[in-house]
C-alpha cells in the first residue's frame, strides 16, 4: 500500500483530526515520509486542517 493511501485510511478509521506524530505512530511509517506525504495531500486538497496542527480527510 502506498504511503498516501495508508495515511488516508488511518485518518478515516480514527474519525478524528490527527497530527503527524499520531499518524506516524498509527501507520508505522517514518516521520519524514509522513511529513512529505502530508504536504502532498495538503497541496492536492485531500486533507484539511480544522484546528492548528491537526488534519483530517476533506
Q: Which three cell numbers stand for residue 37?
A: 506525504
The structure's pTM equals: 0.87
Half-sphere exposure of 7 (CA within 13 A, CB side): 29
Where along the chain do its domains lie? 3-47
Contacts of 43 (CB under 8 A, 6+ apart): none
Report angle CA 34, 6, 16 to the nearest 5 degrees: 80
Q: Which long-range contacts (CB under 8 A, 24 or more apart) does 24-28 make?
A: 27/3
**pLDDT per residue of the chain (58 residues) written in tens, 0 to 9:** 699 999 999 999 999 999 999 999 999 999 999 999 999 999 999 999 999 999 999 9
Amino acid at each position: 500500500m502506498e504511503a498516501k493511501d495508508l495515511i488516508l485510511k488511518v485518518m478515516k478509521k480514527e474519525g478524528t483530526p490527527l497530527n503527524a506524530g499520531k499518524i506516524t505512530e498509527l501507520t508505522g511509517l517514518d516521520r519524514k515520509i509522513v511529513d512529505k506525504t502530508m504536504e502532498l495531500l495538503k497541496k492536492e486538497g485531500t486533507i484539511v486542517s480544522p484546528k492548528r496542527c491537526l488534519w483530517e480527510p476533506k
